[in-house]
Amino acid sequence: MADFSLNSNDFYKALETEQLIGSHCLDCGAMVTPQRHICPKCLGSNTEVVTFSGKGTLLAYTVIFVPSLMMAHAGYDAKNPYCVGVVALEEGPQISAQILNVDVSHPENIKIGSPLTMTTIKRGGEDNSKSYLAFKPA
Ligand SMILES: [Zn+2]
């Protein structure tokens, strides 16, 4: 049992300690991440927090040359693009996140189905730095 609650802030609290959490529906068995009070499959509210292994495979990806404001502040631009992918966790749920350590200058070399493992990236100033989910090749 995880030390985290279903409150949405706890998703980021868990990332601070390199843990990826979600919820497990005790009625229908569905797993989702981030965690939710209401199961998106059966709409039941009998859910518990679970900690995932952080292992998954790449389902889809894109390389972004025109960054969001946050990613522009992190140093990304047309000359320094970044990869975002949809990852299928080994427990079932899917989540999108930045994919690190892949060849963004040759996106055709990034392979669907590649095994990935979670990591985190710290962003923001020293006073308000926050950990964000990312994945890297396993
Ligand atoms: Zn359910």
Residues spanned by the domain of 97: 55-137
- Three-state secondary-structure class, residue 46: coil
Residue 124 has a pLDDT of 82
- Residue 113 alpha carbon to ligand 1 centre in Å: 27
- Residue 91 alpha carbon to ligand 1 centre in Å: 15
- Residue 102 alpha carbon to ligand 1 centre in Å: 35
| CATH number of the structural domain spanning residue 122 | 2.40.50
Judgement on whether residues 112 and 60 belong to the same structural domain of the protein: yes
Sheet with 47-52, side-by-side order of all strands: 31-32, 20-25, 47-52
Q: How far apart are CA 92 and CA 56, in angstroms?
A: 9
pLDDT digits (tens, 9 = 90+) for 67-108: 999 899 999 999 999 999 999 999 999 999 999 999 999 999
Q: How far apart are CA 51 and CA 76, in angstroms?
A: 31
Judgement on whether residues 126 and 59 belong to the same structural domain of the protein: yes
Judgement on whether residues 24 and 72 belong to the same structural domain of the protein: no
Judgement on whether residues 80 and 27 belong to the same structural domain of the protein: no
Q: What's the domain count of the chain?
A: 2
Residue 1 in any domain: the answer is no
pLDDT digits (tens, 9 = 90+) for 41-68: 999 999 999 999 999 999 999 999 999 9
Please check the confidence at residue 137 and state whether its pLDDT lies above 50.
yes
Q: What is the mean pLDDT of residues 9-38?
A: 95
- Residue 44 alpha carbon to ligand 1 centre in Å: 5
Q: How far apart are CA 133 and CA 122, in angstroms?
A: 9
Please check the confidence at residue 1 and state whether its pLDDT lies above 50.
no
- Residue 29 alpha carbon to ligand 1 centre in Å: 6
- Residue 24 alpha carbon to ligand 1 centre in Å: 8
Judgement on whether residues 82 and 97 belong to the same structural domain of the protein: yes
Judgement on whether residues 19 and 60 belong to the same structural domain of the protein: no
Judgement on whether residues 79 and 34 belong to the same structural domain of the protein: no
Residue 71 in any domain: the answer is yes
Task: Please name the helix (run of DSSP H) or strand (run of DSSP E) that holds residue 110, with its range, or none.
Answer: none
Judgement on whether residues 71 and 120 belong to the same structural domain of the protein: yes
Residue 71 has a pLDDT of 93
- Residue 81 alpha carbon to ligand 1 centre in Å: 38
- Residue 138 alpha carbon to ligand 1 centre in Å: 30
Judgement on whether residues 17 and 39 belong to the same structural domain of the protein: yes
Residue 4 in any domain: the answer is no
Judgement on whether residues 81 and 128 belong to the same structural domain of the protein: yes
Residue 2 in any domain: the answer is no
Cβ–Cβ under 8 Å, residues 102 and 63: no
Cβ–Cβ under 8 Å, residues 118 and 17: no
Strands 94-99 and 130-137, sheet pairing: parallel
